[in-house]
């Protein structure tokens, strides 16, 4: 499976929702919904899990479909935020402070701009 880096620096191809979707694996989608319900304290249904990845057309899991960072990346036509000339900005900074490994990925992407 080819690595897909989301606009925010998460790796879509490592995500269990993406993996379940690509394999059309209902059981893995159910397990992911249960895991996310427990981890995030919200009710996540299987319908909210199916995702083809952040940067390509197709299904988006609930949080990706509503993501402000993703919407900005799509509007700017960049591969990911690390490839944006305005990286790092107010939209990404709060998220990247919580997810330092995503910052490292985007910083590496910025060097390859």
pLDDT for residue 68? 95
Per-residue pLDDT for the chain (113 aa), expressed as one digit of tens each? 689 999 999 999 999 999 999 999 999 999 999 999 999 899 999 999 999 999 999 999 988 889 999 999 999 999 999 999 999 899 999 999 999 999 999 999 999 87
CB 7 within 8 A of CB 99: no
pLDDT for residue 14? 94
Task: Encode burial over 99-113: b for 16+ CB neighbours within 10 A, e otherwise.
Answer: eeebbebbeebbeee
Domain residue spans of the chain: 12-111
Look at residues 62, 69, 67, 65 and name the one whose alpha carbon lies nearest to residue 29: 62
pTM: 0.87
pLDDT for residue 88? 87
CB 45 within 8 A of CB 34: no
CB 33 within 8 A of CB 52: no
Q: What angle do CA 68, 25, 99 make, to 5 degrees?
A: 35
pLDDT for residue 13? 94
pLDDT for residue 65? 87
């Amino acid at each position: 499976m080819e690595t897909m880096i989301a606009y925010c620096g998460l790796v879509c191809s490592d995500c269990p929702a993406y993996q379940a979707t690509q394999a059309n694996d209902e059981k893995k989608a159910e397990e992911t919904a249960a895991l996310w319900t427990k981890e995030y304290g919200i009710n996540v249904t299987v319908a909210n899990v199916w995702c083809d990845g952040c940067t390509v057309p197709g299904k988006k899991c609930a949080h990706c479909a509503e993501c402000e960072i993703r919407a900005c990346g799509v509007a700017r036509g960049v591969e990911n935020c690390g490839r944006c000339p305005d990286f790092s900005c107010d939209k990404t900074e709060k998220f990247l402070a919580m997810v330092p490994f995503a910052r490292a990925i985007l910083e590496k992407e910025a060097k390859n701009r």
